[in-house]
Amino acid sequence: MQGIRPIVTIGAVYALTLTAPSVPFGMAQEADVLAHSGEIDSVTVYRGQALITRRIRLPDRAGVQELLITDLPRRVVSGSLHAEGAPGVTVRSVRYRERPVKQDVSEDMEQLQQQLVAQRDQLTRIEREMELIEEHRAYLQQLENITAGTARSDLKHGVLDAKTLRELSEYIAGERQTHSRNSLALHFEQRDVKKEIEHITREMNALGTGATRTEREAILIVDRTEGAGGELHLNYLVTHASWKPSYTVRSQIDSSELDLEYFASIRQTSGEDWSDVHMTLSTATPSLVSRAPSLTALPVSLRPGAPSGIPGGHAGLHSLRGQQRDADRARNVAAPTTPGQFNQEVAKFDSQLNSLADQLQLVELTSDAARQHDATSPNNEGHSVTYRIGGSTTLPSRPARQLIRIARAPMEGDFYQVAIPVLTSYVYEEAHVTNTSDLVLLGGPVSTYVRGEFVGQSEFEDIAVGEAVTVGLGINSSLRSERELINREERVQGGNRVVELTYRLSVQNFRDAATVVRVLDRLPKVDPDEIQLTVTDDGVKSQSGVLRHECDDAKGILRWDLEVPGRAIAKDAAVIEYTIRIEHDRQLTLTSSPS
């Protein structure tokens, strides 16, 4: 973020005994409890979740008060509750609870029956699609048998059509990969539908036996000073809410113009109706992991024999790149909320990304095929966008963690944007800050907001007073990075094999303002007694936008600080081109080795 030095405020959850509180906490127990459902003021709909903001009016009195916020929806994410008061209103705590309540079950039972029928229809559709995939797999197996038999016969008679055989092999491999992805997606969808059927069945059984329903509530302890404003906002996430774009195009044929209408198809079964709300649509993911993946070293060594090429040929290379994109997307799915598990789960994804990058980079080092343009797998994800719907919108719902703020700790440090195109096309914003407060910050989950927008989650380990820490600030949706092998030359020189590789690292900027991005890449980690590796061109002289360049020799991590102009898109992207030379015994072949 060039020219901007924001202050990060980091909240954590603590349990303390205060020896001299200004207002005894127990006063809340003596005050009258106000039950109030509030009014839904605004909704931000993401792909699968929605952020709800309720406006709560406080009673006209000062002091500590206990509020009971009722009618929270069935799909509320209990750990996401967060309250903010107007100036002069301090939210002491927010607690979520569920309790059974007796009710007239006839109407609820009818709704559950309708939901059960809809979910069973979904299950039937999924099972039929899985059957079709299995039928197509059987057909592919027959086609493969025919192809293999024909190939043996043609080879025996000396009339083998290698081109047709290769095309059939790539077709079969591509179809199997597609089937695998579709089958996996249907498996996950089937699992979710079965869980939903079980949940609905349990609720129907509970209604039929105990005639009770579950009331979901938030209990707030607030402290209002004399004359302060009388409102606060309760924010929470709900699941089962999503949207997707659609268009209508109209043309008069004899006119040179056409009329295009852009719509959003919104589906929400969160369990609450949204009436007259300010609505925002976003393609962001509220549960994105806010920190960039960890880039590890790539050790390589030599083994006897010639290069083995790419397993599976071009289809195998395409599969590896597809797996890397899938792993990159999967990393940004909602992370577990179990304390202490977040870093472990993210570390698994980071290890998977590095493993796939290892395989791809090894292909680059050993085969010219890595230069082939993978036209069948473009990166079409685009950058995140947000739409604010004017006026008010109404959408009906169809088909326990407590937060207590102890202190506020402003921190200053080095804010930067980092691109690691060998692992991900996303560009992340991060800050390296120091704990300048007088408190030890205990390890726990962190929800990150940037400019009022929720950008993701991460987790801290314990942070001592004066200790520095890197804080992830989420993905910068206006930037994208890419890594490409643009040239590979191999020759034999004496008794050695010499390979020269030229890489292009590029960063696109969709905004008008220029910015500086920290770009990371890596060199193979080699034994200098066996392999000579030299950076023949570090890209500094050839690209005027490079402000700084350094290399961590121990890990082989390269870093450039690259100035990216505004609207640097496609061919106008800011680039770094660097060249390395690897020389080793020509009788040996590069291969990966344990760290």
Question: Domain check: are 507 and 364 in the same one?
Answer: yes
Domain assignment present for residue 1? The answer is no
Question: Domain check: are 433 and 564 in the same one?
Answer: yes
Question: Domain check: are 97 and 120 in the same one?
Answer: no
Residue that finishes a domain, picked among 199, 232, 250: 199
pLDDT, tens digit, 9 for 90 and up, residues 490-529: 998 888 999 999 999 999 999 899 999 999 999 998 888 8
Average pLDDT over residues 213-220: 87
Tokens 């109407």 appear where? 107
Determine if the pTM surpasses 0.85: no
For residue 7, what pLDDT is reported? 36
Residue that finishes a domain, picked among 174, 199, 224: 199
pLDDT band of residue 256 (cuts 50, 70, 90) is: very low
* Region class of 593: left (phi > 0), else alpha (psi between -120 and 50), else beta: beta
CA dihedral 384, 564, 352, 583 (to 10 degrees): 160
Residue 317 host element (H or E):
helix 313-331
Average pLDDT over residues 185-202: 87
Question: Domain check: are 195 and 313 in the same one?
Answer: no
The Cα-based distances of 217 to 69, 81, 98, 214, 234 in angstroms read 6, 11, 6, 10, 12
Tokens 């010639």 appear where? 306
Domain assignment present for residue 221? The answer is yes
Question: Domain check: are 447 and 534 in the same one?
Answer: yes
- Nearest of 489, 514, 515 to residue 500 by alpha carbon: 489
Question: Domain check: are 251 and 374 in the same one?
Answer: no
Domain assignment present for residue 20? The answer is no
For residue 375, what pLDDT is reported? 40
Its domain, for residue 130, covers 107-199
Question: Domain check: are 438 and 478 in the same one?
Answer: yes
The answer on pLDDT for 211 being more than 60 is: no
For residue 543, what pLDDT is reported? 66
Domain assignment present for residue 99? The answer is yes
pLDDT, tens digit, 9 for 90 and up, residues 276-298: 888 887 877 665 567 788 899 88
Question: Domain check: are 273 and 302 in the same one?
Answer: no
Question: Domain check: are 447 and 572 in the same one?
Answer: yes
Instruction: State the Cα angle at 561 between 560 and 567, rounded to 5°.
Output: 120
pLDDT band of residue 402 (cuts 50, 70, 90) is: very low
The answer on pLDDT for 180 being more than 70 is: yes
Average pLDDT over residues 307-317: 61
Residue that finishes a domain, picked among 282, 315, 334: 282
Whether the CB-CB separation of 500 and 488 falls below 8 Å is answered with yes
Domain assignment present for residue 293? The answer is no
Total domains, the chain: 3
Domain assignment present for residue 401? The answer is no
pLDDT, tens digit, 9 for 90 and up, residues 66-109: 889 998 998 888 778 888 888 888 888 888 998 887 655 567 77
Domain assignment present for residue 80? The answer is yes
Q: Measured between alpha carbons, how far is 45 from 144 in angstroms, rounded to an integer? A: 46
Question: Domain check: are 304 and 276 in the same one?
Answer: no
pLDDT band of residue 20 (cuts 50, 70, 90) is: very low
Domain assignment present for residue 400? The answer is no
The answer on pLDDT for 15 being more than 60 is: no
pLDDT band of residue 9 (cuts 50, 70, 90) is: very low
Question: Domain check: are 66 and 111 in the same one?
Answer: no
